[in-house]
Amino acid sequence: MKWFLIIVLVLPAFACTKNSGRKATEQVRSGPITLVIHGGAGTILRSNMSAESEAAYHRKLQDALDTGFAVLEHGGKSLDAVIAAIKILEDSPLFNAGKGAVLTHDGRNELDASIMDGSNLMAGAVAGVTTIKNPIAAAYAVMTQSEHVMLAGKGAELFAEEKGLDIVLPSYFFDSARYKQLLRIKENAHASNNNDKKFGTVGCVALDQFGNLAAGTSTGGMTNKKYGRIGDSPIIGAGTYANNRTCAVSSTGWGEYFIRLNVAHDVHALMEYGGLALRDAADSVIMKKLPGLGGDGGLIALDRQGAFTMTFCTKGMYRGYIIKKGDAKTFIYGK
């Protein structure tokens, strides 16, 4: 009889704890929904941009913002909003991701992407893929339909095909403007500082009505890269990081330096362990640590209160944010 009473008392306690946790996750909060994107940082000068080209970039950035925000506005999750926004940028030849990816030394497109869920620290990534139409979707599939975090090359492509993702011929990604860019870089291979080859990448961070953060990043990497080079974009902690305790981050820039500094996670660490505010943490990494090591680039970051920053130490960064339907803001150049 004594044991029966203990069991009766203990079981409801466990049930209550489990149910409370589930309800807390699903509860809609009253805070802001926010979505921030970037389309790459680098030597982006007004003097090199025609009015038509500038307008095209603004339109595509706004399209990505509106598409991602529509997911949030209709009660969708931050992860889904991140994927929706990044797909728009991957499908545009304007950006170094997906359709507009830069070319390797051998004239190939090798794509990388990653995604992370701030609510549970789940993450997924693909690297060096050549036939997956939307690498960000493949990264999500790795996160949700496998026991792994990162898959690369042919294995990642086989996995994506088995999961029913859109598979295309490698020629789908070819862009004549990127090919000319590759030829220019090869011709000037002796140049000590060829910024044209270093930058690109697209990314998104989002905050949904449940208070959950997510981040994603996708890229074609570095123009004229060799030997299967992989940058920071598919590396969790370097190119992408999300944690509901602090922030969601997507990076863009010279990947080798972002890997060495573990940039995205460092922003989180400065907030969690150093007590810094979001912008101060981002500035510390991008404006001090990164150039101090010899690198450059930028990032977008968003915290659970809806505060965000778009920080970069280059001439420009394609970027934008939206916190209200129909009021997306997009930018290209520095101050």
pLDDT in the model for residue 191: 55
- Reference 94, options 49, 36, 135; nearest CA is 49
Structural domains for the chain? 37-333 (3.60.20.30)
Q: Who wins on pLDDT, 48 or 197?
A: 48
Q: For the residues 71-82, what does the mean pLDDT come to?
A: 98
Residue 103's contacts (CB-CB under 8 Å, 6 or more residues apart) are 109, 174, 178, 179, 181, 182, 220, 223, 224
The terminus-to-terminus CA distance of the chain in angstroms comes to 76
Positive or negative CA dihedral for 192, 316, 256, 266?
Answer: positive
Residues 294, 310: Cα–Cα separation, whole Å: 20
| Mean pLDDT calculated for residue range 264-276 | 98
Query: Distance between CA atoms of 289 and 241, rounded to whole angstroms?
Result: 18
Model-level pTM?
A: 0.89
pLDDT in tens, 303-327: 999 999 999 999 999 999 999 999 9
- Measured distance CA(6)–CA(267) in Å, rounded: 47
Q: Which of 131, 201, 223, 252 is catalytic?
A: 201
For 291, residues 6+ apart whose C-beta sits below 8 A from its C-beta are 313
Instruction: Give me the phi and psi of 176, to 5 degrees please.
Output: -65, -35
201 as an active site residue: the answer is yes
The average pLDDT across 255-269 equals 98
pLDDT at residue 28 greater than cutoff 60 = no
As a whole number of angstroms, the distance between CA 78 and CA 207 comes to 6
Residues in the chain: 335
- At 4, the pLDDT band (50, 70, 90 cuts) reads very low
Band of residue 189 on the pLDDT scale cut at 50, 70, 90: confident
Tokens of 266: 């460092």
Can you tell me the distance from the alpha carbon of 328 to that of 334, in angstroms, rounded to the nearest whole number? 18
264-270 mean pLDDT: 98
Which pLDDT tens digit goes with each residue over 140-159? 999 999 999 999 999 999 99
- Give mean pLDDT, residues 105-110: 96
pLDDT of residue 152: 98
